[in-house]
Every structure is written in C-alpha cells, then in structure tokens.
Amino acid sequence: MKRFLILQCLVALATMAYAQQPRVMNDDRTYCHELGCGSRKIVSIPNIEGYLTLKGDFHMHTYLDDGSVSPKARVREAWYDGLDVVAMTPHIGVHKTDCVHLKDYNLPYKLAQSEGKKVGVLVIQSAEITRKKPFGHMNALFLKDCNVFEENRYLVDENGVLLRDKNGDRIPNRATEMKDFEAAEAQGAFIIWNHPGWPDKRSTLYPLHKKLIEEKRIHAVELFNGSEWYPRVLDWFDTYKLPMMANTDIHAISANIYNRSLRPMTLVFAKERTLESVREAMFAGRMLALFGNKLAGDAELIKKLLKSSLQVRVIDEKRGSIEVTNISDIEFQATFGKEQKYVVFYPRTATIVTIPQGAELDFANCLAGRKSVKTNIW
C-alpha cells in the first residue's frame, strides 16, 4: 500500500512538471500564441445596489431548428460576447435546415447546458411557441419538458396532408394555440411576447395580448429583436408596466453580426449568479433592455445603474466643476439647465464638466416608457 501511494505521488509530480513545461517550439511544430487563443470580451456594466448585473440573451436558435450553429457553439459565442445567461429557444414545429428532423425539443438545452458548465454560462431550458398572428411567437422560459407542445402548427387532413385556403396558404391550427400556452404555464414558465412588429411591420396590441397582459400571464415583451425595435412597446410599458427585453433572436453566426458593436442584451438584476435567482429577478421585473446604445425599462432601475456607472470626483464644489468617470460600456447622453447644455459620458472614459450640484440631467438614451430618465449625478 505504501509503495502504491509513493507511486501515485511520483506520477502526480511528473504530471505537474510536464504541465508546467513550455510548449515545444522547434522546426517540426511551433505554436503561434497570438492566434491560438479564444478570448472573452469583457462587457463592463456594473452591479447595482443589492444585486448582480447579469447580461443575457433569451431568444436564440441553433441548427436543430432553423439556425446556423450548434447549441454548444451558441453558448461559446455567448461567452465570447460577454454574456452570463442564455436560453436556447427552438421553434416548435419548424425545421428549415438540412439537419435531421428534431424529435426531442429538449436536446438543444441538453447540449447547450453541457457547454455552459464548461465556460460558466447559465443556460435556461426554453422553447418558442411559433404561430401566425394574432397569437404570434412567444418564448417559454424555465421549462421542465419542451416536448409537451403541439408539433402540427397547421391543419392537416386524415392523411396528414396540409390543408390550404383558397389562396393556397396553410391554415393555422388555432385550436391548439392556447393549449400550448397553458402547457407552458403549467410548468411555471416565464412567457415573453416576441417581436410584436414582425413580420407585417405592425406592432398591434391584439385583444388576446391585452387580456393576457392584464391577467399577468405574459410577463415581458421584446422591445428589440435582431436588428429592429418597436417604439409602440414603450406605450405598453407606460400603460401596463410590462417589462421590456432586448434579445438577438440570433440565427446566423454571432461574429458576423455583432463584431463592431456591443451585442444587444437584457440586463437582469439577480441576487445571485444562479438560475433560481435569474428566474426570481425576471418574475419580479428587475430587467432592462440594452440595444443600440439605448437603455429601456423601469426608471428606478435605470437611475441605480446610472449611479453605479457614473463615478463623480468633485474638483471645485462652488463652481460645480466635477470629473465624471463612466466605468460602463454604455454611452450616456444627457442635457441639463435652461440652455439645455449637452454632455456625453463616453464608455470607460473620464470627462470634466461643469454641472451645478443637485442639477437634474435628462438622459436622452435612457427610456422609461416614452419619457427619458431624469436624475442628478451629484
């Protein structure tokens, strides 16, 4: 036994010594370290008082439905782009790629979750209930089983052949829409109304949605999706205080779309870095939409984020001369005073400005519904 323990120690020491050796550099095999590592973009958005700021994308597709990459690659992209939490949301009943017909709608989550554990990205089990308007598309998050939904979105005859109307269009299976919605509710799902202005370029608040929102059965709506946003959603926030989200609905390769800009994301203010805390925060409405250098959502949350992001050092209190350091990656644009003086707080940059103590700044790119957020910074 003693010899065995000694042998184990020797093996461990040899392994450590080998691991610490520099990589072989010779004419047979030489490493180019500059090109050999994938690095994560550090997206600087500070925590707010009492909560962690987690960066998420809750609408993503893979080649298991109609996207371009695998679930594992989707998670790895999210890690590269600086995200903390994601949701794979396969279209129920949509198969537009050459991939074999998806029989198990839990598979995207299973594959993504295994990769998420490797890189520290939280993965939410989810699905997209995909129907024609007025029902539209809705994401159901925090599911336990994604195989409970209706595969046939359109009416078929007794032989399984699609039925079509006089114009040749497929006839939606309206009878199962609310059945699917209720199946998601039965699992305690967080339900997002996706891209209300797509595909007909009309952000219509249908009676169905109005009823579900008033009954608090739709929990959030996408203000931003992919490359477009829907200003009318701001009105619904004013009326119903319906939380707004920014998601990519990504189908293509991330680097081809967001290589020159900050990736759109939903900021979730969670107590801890766990799925349970993310779920609690989302149901509590502690979210902000960040896209195209716009921040949208609850005014108090925005004010807290502004307070955490803009650090003030007083230079001359009497004159109101201050140095403002923006530690975030968000560019804040504001006006103040009777003359509506304009000031920009650039990301990760310090700016010296003259702003009277207690003066209220109007942050034009911070939207709490149709109104911009107004607050003082010192």
DSSP assignment letter at 105:
T
Tens of pLDDT, residues 272-292: 999 999 999 999 999 999 999
What's the rounded Cα separation, in Å, for the pair 60 and 88?
5
State the pLDDT at residue 259.
78
- One-letter amino acid of 11: V
- Higher-confidence residue of 109 and 15: namely 109
DSSP letters spanning 78-99: HHHTT-SEEEE-PBTT---SSS
State the pLDDT at residue 129.
96
State the pLDDT at residue 19.
47
Q: Is the pLDDT of residue 39 over 50?
A: yes
State the pLDDT at residue 195.
98
State the pLDDT at residue 15.
45
Q: Which helix (H) or strand (E) holds 159?
A: none
Q: Is the pLDDT of residue 96 over 80?
A: no
216 φψ region: left (φ > 0), alpha (ψ -120 to 50), beta (else): left
Q: Tell which CATH architecture fits domain 52-297.
A: Alpha-Beta Barrel (3.20)
Q: Is the pLDDT of residue 309 over 50?
A: yes
Lowest mean pLDDT among 12-16, 200-204, 272-276, 374-378: 12-16
CA distances from 101 to 14, 44, 76 (A): 48, 40, 24
Q: Rounded to two decimals, what is the model's pTM?
A: 0.90
Tens of pLDDT, residues 149-207: 988 888 888 887 888 988 888 888 888 999 999 999 999 999 999 999 999 999 999 99
State the pLDDT at residue 158.
84
DSSP letters spanning 270-332: ESSSSHHHHHHHHHTT-EEEEETTEEEE-HHHHHHHHHHHEEEEEEETTTTEEEEEE-SSSPE
Domain parsing of the chain, residue ranges: 52-297, 311-375
The mean per-residue pLDDT over the stretch 129-153 comes to 94
State the pLDDT at residue 6.
55
Tens of pLDDT, residues 44-88: 999 999 999 999 999 999 999 999 999 999 999 999 999 999 999
Q: Is the pLDDT of residue 297 over 60?
A: yes
CA proximity to 182, closest of 233, 227, 228, 135: 135
State the pLDDT at residue 36.
60
Average pLDDT, the chain: 91
